Every structure is written in C-alpha cells, then in structure tokens.
Amino acid sequence: MPGFLMHLIEGEMIINKINTGVTSAADSRLLAIKADPEQFLLGCILPDITDNKERTHFRPAWQKNLITKYPDLDYIRALYPDDAILSPADYGILAHLHLDTHYVTDFWPDYFTIENTAGNTCFDTRQPLYVHISSQPEKKIPLAEFFSDRYFYGEYDRINPRLLKDFHPYIPEQITYQPELVHITECRPEDPSQITKALQTYIIQNPSPAPEASVTRAEIFPYDAVIEFLEHMADTFFTEFI
C-alpha cells in the first residue's frame, strides 16, 4: 500500500486544488476541508494507525488469500453514505481508502504482473507465485522475494527521499486527535498515542537532499509516474466523493 508520504502528498494536492479554485469550493463539504486542512490530513493517515488493517481498510472476506488486498469502496459508500460523512477527517479517510484501492487495481498492473507456475495471472497466495517487473521482464521473482526490502518495500526507501525533497508535506503529528470528529468509527485508533509514534517512524523531519541516483535506482515505479498517479487520484477524489 502507499506509504504515509504518498497519502499526505495526495492530501495536500486535494487541499491545493480547493484553495486555488481548480475545483469549486462552493460545496459545504469542500469548505469544511478548506477550513480545517490539518484534520483532513490527519484523516489521510488514520486507516494505517492500527494493528488491524482488515478492519480499517474494509477488505472483503473473499480477498483473504489474495496478495491483492484493497478496500471495498462500494461497501464503504453503502455503510457511510454522504449524510454520514460529517468532518474533514472523514473525507481524509475516504481519500486514503480511495488511493489504496486504485494503487492496487490500477497502478500496480502498469509496472508488475503476478503469475502462477503456468504463467497465468494469479493472486492466490496458496500456490507458488512469481512477479515480472515491467522494466525487467527477463526476471521471474518469487513472490516473497518481491515483497521484501530488496524490491517492493525497498522502493519506498528509494522514492521517499525525493518525495520529501520535492513536496515537504505537512506532518500532522501535533494535531489533537478528537475521536468525536471521526465518524467512520472503524478508523478510530485503538491507541491514539500511536499516531505520533507512527509518524516519527515513517517521516524524516529534516531529510538531506536526495541524490538523483537514489531515484534512478528505483526498481519498480518510475518517480514521475508516482507523481502523476497521485495527481490523478487527487482529481478523481472529487468526482467520486464530492
């Protein structure tokens, strides 16, 4: 799933579109986000402040054995229709879940495929699976090796320094968490003190400039493609939720 940085950067893109008039701020929901952007950004990370992401990400039971796990947006909208989404934090949560879903369903397939031993597309982890990275088609990487620091998780370490350098996203660690403002109750942290701890774990407050080489070493996702994806998700957030 996208790291904290990607969620915060997309959140700021959404706020910037509201503030600059790229999208109309006449709607009361947009005005609420504009009036309290910090709570919106806090909402953008709340689903990850948990040890139970199945619950906070509304993953359906049929995904249990799949490597491709993502939120069920239709179920979320049925459970929380427009009149149940009442605060900027709620909209931040929706932005998070929206990004997570399309990261798996739309972004992943552009840069890697997952196959079984017969070479057919397959996501069932109960059988041996292999990954082909689009930029390295000659490689056939075992699934466990791909989802490791060598490849997938290490990609965040390769991309994050450039994201920090280019975007300097606002870090909502000093924002007072108010559970009564989170109406999507599944995303209320079991232990609110974990908010600051999690941000300190994922965010380097004073990063040194990222050398260009750190970006060219990206194994999977081209840096520019990541930014384009986040911009697209910020745009489609308005069409899907506002």
Give the DSSP H/E element, type plus range, for residue 199: helix 194-202
Domain boundaries, the chain: 4-112+167-241
Using pLDDT thresholds of 50, 70 and 90, give the confidence band for residue 241. Answer: confident
CA angle 230, 61, 118 (to 5 degrees): 80
Phi, then psi, of 193 in degrees rounded to 5: -65, -15
- Over 60: is that where the pLDDT of 230 sits? yes
pLDDT of residue 201: 66
Mean pLDDT along residues 205-210: 50
- Over 90: is that where the pLDDT of 234 sits? yes
Using pLDDT thresholds of 50, 70 and 90, give the confidence band for residue 173. Answer: confident
Are 164 and 12 in contact by the 8 Å Cβ rule? The answer is no
Rounded Cα–Cα distance for residues 41 and 36 (Å): 9
Averaged confidence pLDDT in the chain: 90
Mean pLDDT along residues 1-18: 94
Residue pLDDT, tens place only, 18-55: 988 766 555 788 888 999 999 999 999 999 999 999 99
